Amino acid sequence: SKLAAGLSKTRNNIVSGMDSIFSRFTSIDEEFFEEIEEILIMGDIGINATAKIIEELKANIKENKIKEPSQCKEMLISSIKNQMRPDENAYDFEDKKTVLLVIGVNGVGKTTSVGKLAGIYKSQGKRVLIAAADTFRAAAVEQLTEWAGRAGVEIVSGQEGSDPAAVIFDALSAAKSRNVDILICDTAGRLHNKKNLMEELRKIDRVIEREYPGATRENMVVLDGTTGQNALAQARQFKEVMDVTGIILTKLDGTAKGGIAIAIQAELGIPVKYIGIGEKIEDLQKFDSDAFVDALFS
């Protein structure tokens, strides 16, 4: 599948390591569990999530009186899947008017993801509008205008250096008067100045609450999957600043660190909603945790 192909780098490491364990070991002992643990940690699945997975695996083996290492593979896969629940389908916005803020540090694939999301919702027959509120980086508006063209949606943008909240204000007015279903807002990505970013996001939040009180809110953080544990740290930082409702994990096609999707969901409890597996408009997929685990482990 396209998913398995996109995840091939992560998959190769994990699958070859696991297959080697299941064929080498003749009995289920502490060393067997240690080697599985090592592969999961090397696969960026995270220390806490890995500990829980191993604990569940051990309990299942005991309960089912399993003796053969080869019989443990399916159990391991289902333990990993269990760690990733709950996995609500909050991305289907149904008929509600939605304001989707897209947040993330520069370079993670934020602009690209805004463009891809616009394409997805447009193809579902929804009325989509993009707000280019990353007024800090001049190229961001240009880049986003190109994406809007590709997706066939309209865009509202402000002057370079203008107040992002003012761009959001204009975009909200446009969204209401044009009966837009989903307003997707790109925002500036300066986490190095956490206080400023927090204030900027709070201001944007106030503007949305005041101007569009009934709208469904989604705050999605974009993370670069190639950065592994750093992505996890960034997600934690954004979670401190705001109510993060989902993660978009990009660039999984170019990395062996795809297991980070499992860590984010299991350790932070924030659902990964979309994954990026390429640079084209169709390369953003809804995240299905079971399909993801199957693509990585079998």
Q: What is the contact surface with ligand GDP in residues (CB under 6 A)?
A: 104, 106-112, 189, 250-251, 253-254, 276-279, 283
Work out how close the CB of 201 gets to ligand GDP at its nearest, in angstroms, rounded to a whole number: 16
Nearer to ligand GDP, 44 or 253 (CB): 253
**Which residue numbers belong to the known binding site for GTP?**
104-111, 186-190, 250-253
Nearer to ligand GDP, 53 or 295 (CB): 295
Work out how close the CB of 223 gets to ligand GDP at its nearest, in angstroms, rounded to a whole number: 10
End-to-end CA distance of the chain: 12
Contact 269/293 with Cβ under 8 angstroms? no
**Which residue numbers belong to the known binding site?**
104-111, 186-190, 250-253
Residue with the closest Cβ to ligand GDP? Answer: 276
CA angle 120, 126, 130 (to 5 degrees): 70
CB neighbours of residue 280 within 10 Å: 11
Nearer to ligand GDP, 14 or 223 (CB): 223
Contacts for 9-13: CB closer than 8 Å, 24+ residues apart: 9/253, 9/254, 9/255, 9/256, 9/258, 10/43, 10/252, 10/255, 10/256, 10/257, 10/258, 10/259, 10/296, 11/258, 11/295, 11/296, 12/256, 13/39, 13/42, 13/43, 13/256
Work out how close the CB of 118 gets to ligand GDP at its nearest, in angstroms, rounded to a whole number: 13
Work out how close the CB of 102 gets to ligand GDP at its nearest, in angstroms, rounded to a whole number: 9
Phi-psi region of 109 (alpha: psi -120 to 50; beta: other; left: phi over 0): left
Work out how close the CB of 29 gets to ligand GDP at its nearest, in angstroms, rounded to a whole number: 41
Nearer to ligand GDP, 189 or 259 (CB): 189
Nearer to ligand GDP, 51 or 233 (CB): 233
Helix ranges (DSSP H) in 26-137? 30-42, 47-63, 73-83, 110-123
